[in-house]
């Protein structure tokens, strides 16, 4: 079976350095908020081209804490509306509702699967205060258009960069394309820890300091609590692991781009809709998502032929039982995408033989057999 993602193989590439990082932290005797976190924050901020990076416990917390900080700073209040793509992972929406803000769902562009900038303005009301673009599957959103809309309507831009570490829009990277950005280092992400981890990047020093305090019990100074904060910290061990993997991220992205190019040039089955991108650097191919109306049949066929795939995602957020209040909403493009997409294996240590097999099996599919 060709695995959808082989985390064991991916991480064992760096076994010696990861073990060295573990030993360094173990022997230091210092496990929370120390020099590994400080160094990773500096290195990841530099990687993104952002002024500040604040390590937190996971990607959802990163997004929640950005909104929370804007509330503390008086720039957002309960009931304000946030524009968000309907076609996203549920965490993007939970970050909004967790803060008692109102998500306003916008349909995607059917070719890129990203929020359609042409459909944002019709959703803006006097209560709209922010846009949360999600660089889904690893591709940067059309930020020139989104920034222009945000400037015209005085909206904050909060990027969901959980899938897009290293992706560029123009000459700037995700994490430096809006007012603040949330990253996830969940093990399966392009930059993955060996457990949960996340970070916020921003160029706004006041926002950075507020987030830092909110994630540490609302405290800038030990035992002095300015806000009703939470405990959401990146720990020394995960930071040490992430420092190892950050060094190799650009190489892994290059390999992902090679695989994506190979798939796009070699898959010629007319039943399959391939992903499109206008600019090579804008996509880091966290996921390689193809589309066909008989998705379930295709998935069974691939599985029967030794190829494991996943679906990102089978049920859109507005149709989830958790969002009962949205269940009656009709978002036809988002719903169609969720019915038709399937993600192929794409990661740095996939062999050429595996890739050839995947392409051959897909090209032989006649739309019926499974
Ligand atoms: C993974 C992910 C998150 C959440 O990250 P966690 O670290 O799992 O909390 C948020 N948004 C998107 C788009 C994601 O893919």
Instruction: Note down pLDDT in tens along the chain; length 370 residues.
Output: 999 999 999 999 999 999 999 999 999 999 999 999 999 999 999 999 999 999 999 999 999 999 999 999 999 999 999 999 999 999 999 999 999 999 999 999 999 999 999 999 999 999 999 999 999 999 999 999 999 999 999 999 999 999 999 999 999 999 999 999 999 999 999 999 999 999 999 999 999 999 999 999 999 988 899 999 999 999 999 999 999 999 999 999 999 999 999 999 999 999 999 998 878 899 999 999 999 999 999 999 999 999 999 999 999 999 999 999 999 999 999 999 999 999 999 998 899 999 999 999 999 999 986 6
- Establish how many alpha carbons lie within 13 A of residue 364's alpha carbon, considering only the half-sphere containing its beta carbon: 11
Bridge-based pairing state of the strands 102-106 and 81-85: parallel
312 CA distance to ligand 1 centroid (A)? 12
Q: How far apart are CA 144 and CA 142, in angstroms?
A: 6
Q: What is the pTM of this model?
A: 0.97
Tell me how far CA of residue 175 lies from CA of 44, 140, 288, 307, in angstroms: 10, 10, 22, 34
Tell me how far CA of residue 126 lies from CA of 76, 100, 153, 325, in angstroms: 13, 17, 9, 22
Q: Which of 59, 230, 313 for mutating ligand 1's site (highest number of atoms within 8 Å of CB)? A: 59
Q: How far apart are CA 87 and CA 134, in angstroms?
A: 9
**Residue nearest (by alpha carbon) to ligand 1 atom 14:** 162
- The answer to whether the CB of 184 is under 6 A from ligand 1 is yes
186 token code pair: 């969940």
Atom of ligand 1 nearest to the CA of 61: 9
Residue found under tokens 């006097």: 126
Gyration radius of the chain's alpha carbons: 21
368 CA distance to ligand 1 centroid (A)? 34
């Amino acid at each position: 079976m060709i695995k959808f993602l082989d985390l064991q193989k991916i991480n064992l590439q760096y076994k010696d350095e990861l073990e060295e990082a573990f030993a360094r932290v173990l022997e230091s005797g210092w496990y929370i908020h120390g020099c590994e976190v400080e160094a990773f924050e500096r290195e990841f901020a530099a990687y993104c081209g952002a002024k500040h990076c604040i390590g937190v416990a996971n990607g959802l917390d990163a997004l929640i804490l950005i909104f929370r900080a804007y509330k503390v700073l008086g720039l957002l209040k309960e009931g304000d509306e946030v524009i968000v793509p309907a076609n996203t992972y549920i965490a993007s929406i939970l970050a909004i509702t967790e803060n008692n803000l109102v998500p306003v769902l916008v349909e995607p562009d059917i070719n890129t699967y990203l929020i359609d900038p042409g459909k944002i303005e019709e959703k803006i009301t006097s209560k709209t205060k922010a846009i949360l673009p999600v660089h889904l599957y690893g591709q940067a959103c059309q930020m020139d258009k989104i920034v222009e809309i945000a400037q015209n309507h005085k909206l904050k831009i909060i990027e969901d960069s959980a899938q897009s570490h290293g992706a560029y829009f123009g000459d700037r990277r995700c994490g430096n394309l809006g007012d603040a950005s949330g990253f996830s280092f969940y093990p399966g992400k392009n930059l993955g820890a060996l457990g949960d981890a996340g970070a916020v990047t921003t160029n706004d020093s006041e926002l950075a300091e507020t987030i830092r305090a909110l994630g540490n019990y609302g405290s800038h100074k030990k035992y002095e609590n300015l806000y009703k904060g939470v405990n959401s910290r990146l720990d020394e061990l995960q930071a040490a692991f992430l420092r190892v993997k950050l060094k190799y991220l650009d190489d892994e992205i290059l390999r992902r781009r090679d695989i994506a190019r190979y798939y796009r040039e070699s898959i010629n089955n007319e039943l399959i809709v391939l992903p499109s991108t206008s600019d090579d650097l804008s996509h880091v191919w966290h996921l390689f998502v193809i589309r066909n109306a008989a998705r379930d049949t295709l998935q069974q066929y691939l599985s029967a032929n030794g190829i494991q795939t996943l679906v990102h995602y089978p049920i859109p957020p507005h149709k989830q039982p958790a969002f009962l209040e949205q269940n009656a909403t009709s978002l036809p493009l988002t719903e169609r995408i969720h019915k038709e997409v399937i993600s192929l294996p794409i990661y740095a240590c996939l062999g050429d033989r595996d890739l050839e097999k995947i392409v051959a099996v897909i090209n032989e599919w006649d739309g019926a057999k499974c």
